[in-house]
Chains A and B, each alone.
Chain A
Amino acid sequence: MEIRTIEAPFSEEVLASLHVGDIVNITGKIFAGRDAVLPKIVKMIEEGTLKENGIDLQGGVIFHTAVSPAGVGPTSSNKLEIEGTMPELTKAGIRMHLGKGALKPETVKMMGENNTVFAVIAPVTALLNSKVTSKKCLAHPELGMEAFYELGIDGFPAVIAAAHGESMF
């Protein structure tokens, strides 16, 4: 079984080469955020305050997870405040949404139109902990484990579940 390593943030060419069913190892820098903070990030996009907080979403990955002493692991991406913010985050430059659970057909279509993919990662916290190389809170520290983080990662295993308007669901 072929497992391809891809480094985040991604170029448009790398994204165009990803297909449904591909298994990938993700390395590099990714963002982490979930229910509480993603609507606040959308608000920051609208207010134009991302840059002053050192956040550049271009080609980026958002991993739908909390960041806590217990580790990291995907929450359900089809929660209202997560799937509901995907269009704005995609429009602002995010090119991979990383989580779990089936997404709506209209979300899959929207991502396909923007060369953006959805990747599913198993909730394998014990395995993932050894692959997190750095953690940095970027915004909304008052949210504790639900704040917006940047993670350095080395080999997160994931399956491309939606790309080019097609999905595995």
Chain B
Amino acid sequence: MADYKDVVEKVADCLVRAGSTFTEDRKQAYHEAIEVEDTEIAKWNLQTILENAEVAERDRSPLCDDTGIPHVIIEVGPDKALTGKTMDAIREGIKEGLKRLPGRPMAIMGDDKERIDMSGGISPNSEDLALAPVLVRETKEDVLRVTVLMLGGGPAIRGLTQRIFHKHNINVVLDEIVKRAKEATGLLGCTPCALAIGVGRSQFEATSLMMEALADADFSKQTEMENYITEHVNESGVGPLGLGGKTTVLRTFMKVGPQRASGVRVVAMRPACCFEPRKASVEL
């Protein structure tokens, strides 16, 4: 593993890339969506989002002023170790990255009550924004890999984690996801969205799977279930920025975990905005 300073530098750079860059597969998905749309406004909205991404990547500046809450997923290979010292360096790298991007200064100060009602005030320092709980997963690759995701507030408002009674029919679950997604994307504003879904046995597991779906998102790959959800949500006609069109959801990313012998499935859904998943990875 790289030394402490190298880890800080790598993670800081990773955060800046996450907050300022569209991956090539996502750019291609936008180009395809522009072709599919048949109104000038829908095309113009998609083109404007794409132009913004080009400027942000060139300037290494934020894609969106809501630069998001930093989330980290760490993959640990069979012969790799994640030490407390490495965790310290990752945390330091996140702080440094927030200073460089710069992250929006939106950490709330104070005790539990003050942080809930915001009476403790807002820190003026970007780097005071605390890292969310870290998700660790195993990989067969011989790597120690950090993925940084920056999660904005709009999708957090419209996201939902709740059970679905499956009635021993997959379409019951998929159609309920479509129903929830139509409602969420209608109010989101920042469409087209990348719909992230996790299906698990508990709220924790479903949300973890949803985070993995965001981390692994590849806009050039879709499963039959993901296509089904995308196509049916797009029937709503909400379109780019909610102003009408065929592209309400650009892609769906779904992870299905182990399930319990029960009539219930816990489904976490995040209607990630037009810039999400803002993600980047680095090997330490």
Contact = CB atoms under 8 A, between A and B. Distances in A.
B99 to A, nearest CB: 10
Contact of B65 (A36, A99, A125, A130): A125
Interface in B109-161: 118, 121-124, 126, 153-154, 157
Contact of A73 (B66, B101, B188, B244): B66
Best-buried of A79, A124, A143 by chain B (most CB within 10 Å): A124
Contacts of B77: none
Interface string A140-155: 0011111000000000
A169 to B, nearest CB: 6
A28 B44 CA distance: 23
B55 A126 contact: yes
Interface string A102-134: 100000000000000000101111110110000
Given A75-B153, A123-B274, A123-B275, A65 B122 contact: no
A123 B190 contact: yes
B28 to A, nearest CB: 19
Contacts of A99: 189
Interface string B38-68: 0011001100110111011001011111110
B61 A101 contact: no
A1 B118 contact: no
B265 interface: no
Interface string A64-102: 011011111111111100000000000000000001111
18 contacts: A1-B44, A69-B105, A70-B67, A71-B62, A71-B65, A72-B65, A75-B154, A76-B157, A78-B189, A120-B243, A123-B190, A125-B56, A125-B61, A126-B59, A129-B61, A144-B105, A145-B122, A157-B48
A72 B182 CA distance: 28
B65 A100 contact: no
Contacts of A65: 65
A21 B121 contact: no
B62 A23 contact: no
B236 to A, nearest CB: 11
B241 interface: yes
A128 B102 CA distance: 16
A168 interface: yes
Which 9 residue pairs spanning A and B have beta carbons closest together? Answer: A101-B189, A100-B189, A124-B52, A73-B65, A126-B56, A144-B122, A70-B104, A126-B55, A125-B65
Contacts of A74: 189
A21 B41 contact: yes
Interface residues of B, number: 47
B70 interface: no
A38 interface: no
Q: Which of A79, A99, A123, A143 has the most CB of B within 10 A?
A: A123
A163 interface: no
Given A1-B40, A73-B64, A101-B242, A122 B154 contact: no
A70 B103 contact: yes
A62 interface: no
B89 interface: no
A66 B65 contact: yes
B44 A124 contact: no
A68 B65 contact: yes
B105 A145 contact: yes
A2 to B, nearest CB: 10
Contacts of A69: 102, 104-105, 126
Contact of B242 (A70, A75, A100): A100
A138 to B, nearest CB: 18
A101 B238 CA distance: 10
Nearest to B104: A70
A161 interface: yes
A77 B189 contact: yes
A159 interface: yes
A70 B49 CA distance: 17
Contact of A102 (B20, B40, B104, B186): B186
